[in-house]
Structure 1
């Protein structure tokens, strides 16, 4: 399945938030934390605010690295979310919505005072 975005480059703010999450969860890989963040944002009932996101950090990965074995499933989830939110499913919209969801999710995870260890991510995933 063709990915909506070839390379993912994070903002400096997102990088700093991921560094905080790495320390607390002990998850060293950016891509794994990014997957958690993306899914966290998808779980929200509202679409992310359409804000400009700078690509000013040195954290960059390919879509395949981001998604790993789940890359096709994550892409389908993104497409379904765009459809549910009334957005077109073209490459530009998918790329834009992906970036917005990823950065919103990173912000949510980093700002959650209950996430102090990896087990807290699992508790978050099992809620409701």
Structure 2
């Protein structure tokens, strides 16, 4: 039996996003792109505003499959992306889901890189877990 096709096949990053994540990999000790990208996505989705950047050039050599990006929580991430599409008045089709994923991962990477607190794993956790 063939697996159902996912609305998102791959996650690709821009060169500036790759550069920022390379720095974060060194400072946090988190060595996997997908883990940092998951944090970035959730940080961005937590912000109810619409990202200012709509088109991102994914020109780096960092690319991962949806399965690698999402891991065992793929259905949850997909539901969050569909919900965001609906919240901004867009149909949750494959193209819109891919675009929302890309802009939110990139905005989240910006959040991770802009806050000095996020340079450590403890700081990253502290930013999202209320004390």
> Do Structure 1 and Structure 2 share a fold, with TM-score over 0.5?
yes
Maintained 8 Å contact 2:113/2:119: no
Partner of 1:115: 118
**Structure 2 gap segments, 5+ residues each:** none
Q: How does 1:31-46 map to 2 (within 5 A)?
A: 31-46=34-49
Superposition map of 1:72-83 within 5 A: 72-83=75-86
Matches within 5 A, 1:96-107: 96-107=99-110
Compute the displacement of 1:99 (Å): 0.4
For structure 1, which runs of at least 5 residues remain unmatched after alignment? Answer: none
State the shift of 1:4 in Å. Answer: 2.4
Distance across 2 between alignment mates of 1:8 and 1:115 = 22
CA RMSD of aligned residues (A): 1.4
Query: Which aligned runs of 4 or more in structure 1 are off by greater than 4 angstroms?
Result: none
Instruction: Give the drift of 1:51.
Output: 2.8
Match of 1:124 among 103, 127, 130: 127
Highest CA radius of gyration, 1 or 2?
2
The SS at the match of 1:105 is helix
SS at match of 1:61: strand
Number of the residue aligned with 2:26: 23
Distance 1:2-1:77 versus aligned 2 partners, 3 A rule: farther
Q: Is the 8 A contact 2:15 2:58 kept in 1?
A: yes
User: Please, which of 15, 22, 33 is the counterpart of residue 12 of structure 1?
Assistant: 15
The one-character-per-residue Cα deviations of 1:33-54 (angstroms, maximum 9, x if unpaired) are: 0000000000001121243211
Shifted more, 67-76 versus 46-55: the winner is 46-55
